[in-house]
Amino acid sequence: MDKDEIHLRRLPAPHADREFCGVDFLPEDLNEALEETEMRVNKTYSCLPAEEKGIHIINIRAIEDIGYDQHESTLLNSLSKNPDADCKYGLYFRDGKRKVDYILVYQYKKSSAGRTVTRRAHYDSTARSTKQGQPLPGKGVQLETGESEPHMDYHEDDKRFRREEYEGNLVEAGLELEHDEDTKIHGIGFVKIHAPWNVLCREAEFLKLKMPTKKMYQISQTHGLLKKINSVIQKITEPIQPKVAEHKPQTVKRLSYPFSREKQHLFDLSDRDSFFDSKTRSTVVYEILKRTTCTKAKYSMGKGEGRKKEATLLNKRRKCGKYGITSLLANGVYSAAYPLHDGDYEGENVEPNDRKLLCEEWASYGVFYKYQPIDLVRKYFGEKIGLYFAWLGVYTQMLIPASIVGIIVFLYGCATVDENIPSMEMCDQRNNITMCPLCDRTCSYWKMSSACATARASHLFDNPATVFFSVFMALWAATFMEHWKRKQMRLNYRWDLTGFEEEEEAVKDHPRAEYEAKVLEKSLRKEHKHKETDKEKLTWKDRFPAYLTNFVGIIFMVGLTFAIVFGVIIYRISTAAALAISSTPSGRSSVRVTVTATAVIINLVVIIILDEVYGCIARWLTQIEVPKTDKNFEERLIFKAFLLKFVNAYTPIFYVAFFKGRFVGRPGDYVYIFHSFRMEECAPGGCLMELCIQLSIIMLGKQLIQNNLFEIGIPKMKKFIRYMKLKHQHSLDHEEHMKKKQRYEVDYNLEPFAGLTPEYMEMIIQFGFVTLFVASFPLAPLFALLNNIIEIRLDAKKFVTELRRPVAVRAKDIGIWYNILRGIGKLAVIINAFVISFTSDFIPRLVYLYMYSENGTMHGFVNHTLSSFNVSDFQAGTAPNDPMDLGYEVVICRYKDYREPPWSENKYDISKDFWAVLAARLAFVIVFQNLVMFMSEFVDWIIPDIPKDISQQIHKEKVLMVEVFMREEQGKLQMLETWKDKDKKKGENCNNHSPRLSRSHSGSLSSCHSYPLDV
């Protein structure tokens, strides 16, 4: 132990010089401000007395003058033992009995002399009663040994005042505290918080926490054939079940009831230490931290008018009274607040704990094939995080049939590619179809057979099976939503969340710290104008500048996304024209592939960068709105982030699907951008193949880069940087560096939990890729399935090993995300209808087959979709520079469109065939959309939201609870009847005795009422 680590107890000193044992106290100017706090500290706090360690309060300066301070560490080490083993390295208080339920972290500055008086004091209301004869310590004020009056940092002093008041209020609320500044992290202090049994019971009753009672009942089991099928399924799936006790099928269940101190006899309190688990204990403490207020105003050394303003601010803050832990964290009074993990998850001599079990059976890539231990996840992290992983598991499980059907559709395309007549006609060299140039001047005429590979590849995704797959995926989305609702109800029953609405309303009304600060600022502004102020609140007028900023900001961001897509279009057009000048035939033949691939990669990079930028902008826009509650803040943030990221991810895909090749014009009358760039056309096989390439690269690249770089690489890099900083700090003190860290020190170095919004957002965007454009990419569910198998274990590892333990939050559903999923499912039906009818050639083929085919086959379809153009009609300066590039003079070239031929009276006008195809396309959209919507609603209606067995069990629980209370009432009535009978007998006996005995009649009767009631 260093010489700076002497344990001191500051005694209340009445001396006029404000000095005790050679230790200087704070300057005279602060004594008025400290007086109230010092009285409260001496009144409410206690610490381990120095006499327990065999050390008495001594004069620090005297030690230094005599010269014995170099032997101090030897003396202390010989008289005291290492307490780390007793407190299990920070999981318990130093007495080794009281568990640490929560940690507050604060920063403190060392004095100019380079030393602080280190403390390891615990504030304990129970210790006060046993140590009343001993003097109480101070609050660990930093004492300096400088000869001259020290320079004060008033900002740090103000933070310390607030901590003193706040921690005093926590002690008054019943919590027990213990400080520790003797840590390996210099300049960081920790406050350990323990909630005793009476506080846990009180808060559990306030929060209406459902706890298991003594009453157990049998869960109804299936019978007959279903029972045999379930047993067979259990035996088959046994190897892929996690080896945790919580995951085993239950046959009995304890009846749960909201905890009540008056009805403690209903609950199984045989083991009080485990009745409230660590998750519940941290939730209780966090509720107290939010509710406990700190009204200390910023300390001011000003005089006169400045002092009056500070007094006004202090009074106003006391009226407001909403400076809880969130405000203190926002103002830097505390730097962090978090519950502790249960222990280490790796090592040789690690005691078994839930964290270690989760790491082995859940957060490991080696168990990717197993089910998730959702009940254990909920037990450790809470219902909200448990629901996220349950939803992710159901979504991944439902991707298996979608992937299988997608593979079958793709294989069908591969098997029938050689039988596809349109692609065979395009690849036939004998057709000798000469196509018009793709660009002005530099591009020459080309043979349709050169696009043979593109046409054959298009058939893999553009075939009759694609339509079936689109219908299947629409019904799959509806089934998935219904399946999740049923799974959610099962979890609500299993986790005792069936009557949760009241608590949700209470949480929803809790105001945020930023909102309270804005209200305080508004009330002070009104008070400065000498206006009467009642209870203030923010109106739409106060938020109007923020609303305007939000509107303008979102419009600007959407416009920026469109501008970037437009820039990529310009790049594609200019690059295609530049590559067409290439002297090599191979360069000219690979123009389309090169342009498409490079443009998609540019889009991918821009999407990934803008994703991060838009996430930060959405948070900032939500913060300036100052929503009142955390629930409002989260919903508004989700809406903005989803809107921006949806536009960012899907705008390039929407362009290829619905706009590319639609506004090209025709040879001799093309549409130009900036009078120089001609709009790009689709390939002869259609734009569906290019849409498939765009979708696959963006989807796969986004998943791989974001998963590997952002979710694995960046946290690893941050962890390495923190490790190097700590290694550099402790390089001078090897002995201290080798000492094992406390649990709260290890957890402090972990990343703070930032919420589930990024995790949900990533999966929702992927759900859009799987459903919105699935008609163009049947393999999308397969790639999503492979990604999610890794994603589950990646997120699990992050939660277990790399993040601080989040505060458990109760929730009965996934909130606004469910509505977003339903909206995407509805939108997917419409988009797939338009993709099939307008992007693919499915409708033109049907129209040709039933209206124009002479022999009922697809022969002649390619020629039917091409129009003719006379090269003499080219505008001046747009004809090819080398008209003899193919070796012969071209008189008529072909282009893909439905227009009149040059020998017609209305040459190059839109033909009747175009209108016939357009009518068929619109009719298909209407029929497809309504049919699939009806089928989805039918699936929604036919599958009940609540499983029948769960509804029966919920009803059974209500009946059993009524029976329990009826029996309790009957027992009370019987007990009262027994008392009355005894009273009557006692009265009769008293009347038969002498008057001397009758004088004690009242005493006898009163004694009859002293029987204890034990129900």
DSSP string, 237-266: HGGGS-S-GGGSPPSEEEEEEE--GGGGGG
Contact 100, 108 (CB under 8 A): no
Burial 330-342 (b: 16+ CB within 10 A, else e): ebebbebbbbbbb
What pLDDT shows up at residue 296?
Answer: 53
Contact 181, 116 (CB under 8 A): yes
What pLDDT shows up at residue 88?
Answer: 63
Contact 603, 568 (CB under 8 A): yes
What pLDDT shows up at residue 177?
Answer: 92
Interval 105-151: pLDDT, tens: 998 876 544 444 444 444 444 443 333 333 333 333 333 333 334 44
Mean pLDDT computed over every residue of the chain: 76
What pLDDT shows up at residue 463?
Answer: 83
Interval 782-804: pLDDT, tens: 999 999 998 899 899 999 988 99
Report the alpha-carbon distance of residue 152 to residue 161 in Å, rounded.
Answer: 14
Q: How many of the other CB atoms lie within 10 Å of CB of 284?
A: 25
Residue 325 has pLDDT above 70, yes or no: yes
Report the alpha-carbon distance of residue 477 to residue 824 in Å, rounded.
Answer: 9
The residue to which tokens 């006609």 are assigned? 425
What single-letter DSSP state applies at residue 331?
T
Please choose, from the candidates 211, 203, 219, the residue with its C-alpha nearest in 3D space to the C-alpha of residue 257: 211
H/E run at residue 199: helix 197-207
Report the alpha-carbon distance of residue 766 to residue 788 in Å, rounded.
Answer: 10
User: 312 pLDDT band (50/70/90 cuts)?
Assistant: low
Q: Which two tokens stand for residue 172?
A: 């008054």
Please choose, from the candidates 964, 685, 696, 693, the residue with its C-alpha nearest in 3D space to the C-alpha of residue 839: 685
What pLDDT shows up at residue 422?
Answer: 85
Report the alpha-carbon distance of residue 930 to residue 939 in Å, rounded.
Answer: 14
Interval 173-225: pLDDT, tens: 999 998 887 766 777 889 999 999 999 999 988 888 888 888 888 777 777 78
The residue to which tokens 């204890």 are assigned? 1012
Q: Give Cβ neighbours of residue 498 (< 8 Å, ≥ 6 apart).
A: 492, 954
CA distances from 15 to 12, 22, 913 (A): 9, 12, 106
**100 against 876, higher pLDDT:** 100
User: 509 pLDDT band (50/70/90 cuts)?
Assistant: low
Q: Give Cβ neighbours of residue 145 (< 8 Å, ≥ 6 apart).
A: 23, 24, 60, 61, 64, 111, 113, 115
CA angle 113, 115, 119 (to 5 degrees): 150
User: 73 pLDDT band (50/70/90 cuts)?
Assistant: very low
Interval 604-615: pLDDT, tens: 889 989 988 998
Intra-chain end-to-end CA distance of the chain, in Å: 55
The amino acid present at 41, given as its one-letter code, is V
User: 246 pLDDT band (50/70/90 cuts)?
Assistant: low
What pLDDT shows up at residue 936?
Answer: 87
Average pLDDT for 244-267: 81
Backbone angles phi, psi at 214, to 5 degrees: -70, -25
What pLDDT shows up at residue 592?
Answer: 72
What pLDDT shows up at residue 135?
Answer: 36
What single-letter DSSP state applies at residue 188?
E
User: 711 pLDDT band (50/70/90 cuts)?
Assistant: confident
What pLDDT shows up at residue 136?
Answer: 34
Q: Give Cβ neighbours of residue 712 (< 8 Å, ≥ 6 apart).
A: 794
User: Strands 336-338, 102-107: parallel, antiparallel or unpaired by DSSP?
Assistant: antiparallel
Interval 669-693: pLDDT, tens: 888 877 777 777 777 667 788 888 8
Average pLDDT for 634-662: 89
860: left (phi over 0), alpha (psi -120 to 50) or beta: left
675: left (phi over 0), alpha (psi -120 to 50) or beta: left
CA distances from 753 to 104, 393, 627, 868 (A): 15, 21, 21, 64
Helical packing angle, 591-625 and 688-705, nearest 10°: 50
Contact 615, 645 (CB under 8 A): yes
Quickly list DSSP for 876-935: TTTS-S-TTTTSS--SEEEEES-B--TTSTTTTSBPHHHHHHHHHHHHHHHHHHHHHHHH
Torsion of CA 539, 540, 546, 549, to 10 degrees: -170
Interval 443-484: pLDDT, tens: 788 888 877 877 888 888 888 888 889 889 988 998 999 999
Q: How many of the other CB atoms lie within 10 Å of CB of 770?
A: 27
Quickly list DSSP for 792-849: HHHHHHIIIIIBPPPPP---SS-THHHHHHHHHHHHHHHHHHHIIIIISSHHHHHHII
Report the alpha-carbon distance of residue 42 to residue 255 in Å, rounded.
Answer: 46
User: 561 pLDDT band (50/70/90 cuts)?
Assistant: very high
Q: Give Cβ neighbours of residue 238 (< 8 Å, ≥ 6 apart).
A: none
